[in-house]
Chains A and B, each alone.
Chain A
Amino acid sequence: MSSTPIYSSPFTSDAFRVKVGLAEMLKGGVIMDVVNAEQAKIAEDAGASAVMALERVPADIRRDGGVARMSPVSKIREIEAAVSIPVMAKCRIGHIAEARVLESLEVDFIDESEVLTPADEENHVYKHDFKVPFVCGCRNLGEALRRIGEGAAMIRTKGEAGTGDIVHAVRHLREVTRQMKSLTLLSRDEWMAAAKQLAAPFELVVWVAEHGKLPVPNFAAGGVATPADAALCRILGAEAVFVGSGIFKSVDPANRARAIVEATTHWDDPARVAAASEKLVEGMKGIEAGKLVEAELLQTRGW
């Protein structure tokens, strides 16, 4: 593997451009959690721009407990064979070997995800070592920039997965946006202190200060259960939306998936969001995220 310092040209290397390029293609779309080929096909037919393979959807992980790991290899192959859209898959935080296995299976994107049980309590995967692009979650700007520093080509703000409660996705989208805006107001003399405070790579802090946005696409995830939830994420600046349990834990997955796709595209047209929601019955019952105790939170995994 190359030992080239990543800050010599982190955003101009062809390898990184191609990774971010796929993230660009996923903008404006919905990435849906699926556990098997049947769900993947429903997602594709509903207009998903990609599917995310995982062992169990977050609501089941939350209900059943136990260690949540990468999806079985046979399931990933089955999903790849079933659909023509990009296939993403989750690996555990810091689980270099799971990530390598997913790369060898030629998944299109790896999500190093807090929804699975972390494999490393301290370190994330060094993602520049891989040819396959990575997405990682964040709760604030510092966390986003640390992941990008390691080579993430896409960021998703963390909600509280498996709850059907949008409140934490909103909190973290607002937080990241507020912190980015604040950076743009600083003078150059203040950048290093900001980097220290954010615990983020200086060069990336400078980039955000000068551009007012992340250097990679910024999507939202966690707690999206309705078309209006998806529209809300877009209103708050998310460039695309991940939906986990919200689809396949509802009573009408195909219709709900289709409606969330429609609302994500037409987020700025309330009549279209209403029309998309017209035929839907109740969404997943959900859990109020504010009632969860600290140990039950998935979003606090990773740093």
Chain B
Amino acid sequence: MTVPVGVLALQGDFEAHGAALARLGIDSRPVRTAEEVRASAGLVLPGGESTTMWKLMEGTGIAEAIVAVARRGDPLFVTCAGAILSARRITSPDRDGLGLLDATAVRNAYGRQLDSAVVTLTDLDRSVLGGEPLEAVFIRAPKLADLGPGVEVLARRNGDPVLVRDGNLVAATFHPELAADARVYDLVFGAAAARAA
């Protein structure tokens, strides 16, 4: 039996991630404790409200467990609020993140819900994602700034990085789990899916 990918299920659109993984034939389960996080083969930190997730992680050891899973080299996929949690620094309000993504996450950088949008991304790293435009659903999205030297930018929106890779972690400021395009998931779990097959 293969070990499932853990989808952090404290709050947010974790079910949408589970459904997206299932469509790709990748086994996953929702995780809500430090033990469950550690027992996962790879992690997804979903969209939702990062302030709520921080609150629910307090005193549980979950943050430490996520860092441990990342340090052992498991694939990590973090979207929107998940990308905020993973960042080195976070603004508005200012605080430290988990430090898994060498960048600063600027919360609500595009504005409020009225500025949420479905955008067709064409400024892509074609060697990684191919030539087809990528449909991206942005919901009260953050921006990523102060990228470290080891961070690869895979897609941009109006020049801003929106899909990046930092070692075994892939971060999207949009929601690939709400779109039908599998390329971003393949980027993260391609190897894992092939192993399972």
Question: Which residues from chain A sit less than 8 Å from chain B, CB to CB?
Answer: 14, 17-18, 21-22, 24-29, 44-50, 80, 84-87, 103, 106-109, 131-133, 258, 261-262, 265-266, 269
Q: How far is the CA of A107 from the CA of B49 in the complex (A)?
A: 16
* B11, CB-defined interface residue at 8 Å: yes
Chain A proximity mask over B82-112: 1 for CB below 8 Å, otherwise 0: 0000000000110000000000000110011
Q: How far is the CA of A232 from the CA of B96 in the complex (A)?
A: 35
Q: How far is the CA of A131 from the CA of B115 in the complex (A)?
A: 9
Contacts of B137 in A (CB 8 A): 17-18, 21
Across the interface, do B112 and A106 meet the contact criterion of CB distance under 8 Å? yes
Question: Which residues from chain B sit less than 8 Å from chain A, CB to CB?
Answer: 9-16, 32, 47-49, 51-52, 55-56, 80-81, 92-93, 107-108, 111-114, 116-118, 137, 139-140, 175, 178
Known contacts A84-B51, A106-B114, A266-B32; A28 and B10 CB within 8 A of each other: yes
Across the interface, do A17 and B118 meet the contact criterion of CB distance under 8 Å? yes
Most chain A CB within a 10 A radius of its CB, from B47, B49, B93, B175: B49
A-B contact count (CB 8 A): 108
Contacts of A80 in B (CB 8 A): 112
Across the interface, do A18 and B55 meet the contact criterion of CB distance under 8 Å? no
A275 CB to closest chain B CB (Å) equals: 11
Q: How far is the CA of A25 from the CA of B124 in the complex (A)?
A: 26
Q: List 22 A-B contacts (CB under 8 A).
A: A17-B118, A17-B137, A18-B139, A22-B116, A24-B16, A24-B47, A25-B48, A26-B49, A27-B12, A27-B15, A27-B48, A28-B14, A49-B48, A50-B49, A85-B51, A85-B52, A86-B140, A106-B112, A106-B113, A108-B140, A109-B113, A265-B56
Across the interface, do A261 and B139 meet the contact criterion of CB distance under 8 Å? no
Contacts of B178 in A (CB 8 A): 17, 21, 24
Contacts of B113 in A (CB 8 A): 18, 22, 86, 106-109, 132-133
Contacts of A29 in B (CB 8 A): 11-12, 48-49, 52
Across the interface, do A103 and B114 meet the contact criterion of CB distance under 8 Å? yes
Across the interface, do A47 and B15 meet the contact criterion of CB distance under 8 Å? no
Considering the complex, give the chain B residue whose CB is closest to the CB of A240: B11
Across the interface, do B51 and A47 meet the contact criterion of CB distance under 8 Å? yes
Across the interface, do A25 and B52 meet the contact criterion of CB distance under 8 Å? no
Most chain A CB within a 10 A radius of its CB, from B113, B137, B178: B113
Across the interface, do B140 and A258 meet the contact criterion of CB distance under 8 Å? no
Q: How far is the CA of A265 from the CA of B33 in the complex (A)?
A: 11
Considering the complex, give the chain A residue whose CB is closest to the CB of B115: A106
Residue from A49, A132, A133 within 8 A of B52 (CB atoms): A49
Across the interface, do B56 and A261 meet the contact criterion of CB distance under 8 Å? yes
Contacts of B114 in A (CB 8 A): 103, 106, 131-132
A-B CB proximity, top 6 nearest? A47-B55, A108-B113, A14-B118, A24-B13, A28-B11, A49-B49
Contacts of B108 in A (CB 8 A): 84
Across the interface, do A25 and B51 meet the contact criterion of CB distance under 8 Å? no
Across the interface, do A27 and B49 meet the contact criterion of CB distance under 8 Å? no
Contacts of B14 in A (CB 8 A): 27-28
Across the interface, do B118 and A265 meet the contact criterion of CB distance under 8 Å? no
Across the interface, do A265 and B112 meet the contact criterion of CB distance under 8 Å? no
Known contacts A47-B51, A47-B55, A84-B92; A18 and B117 CB within 8 A of each other: yes
Considering the complex, give the chain B residue whose CB is closest to the CB of A109: B113
Most chain A CB within a 10 A radius of its CB, from B12, B48, B139: B139
Contacts of A261 in B (CB 8 A): 52, 55-56
B110 CB to closest chain A CB (Å) equals: 12
Q: How far is the CA of A27 from the CA of B53 in the complex (A)?
A: 12
Across the interface, do A22 and B56 meet the contact criterion of CB distance under 8 Å? no
Across the interface, do A28 and B12 meet the contact criterion of CB distance under 8 Å? yes
Q: How far is the CA of A27 from the CA of B51 in the complex (A)?
A: 14
Contacts of A265 in B (CB 8 A): 9-11, 32, 56
A103 CB to closest chain B CB (Å) equals: 7
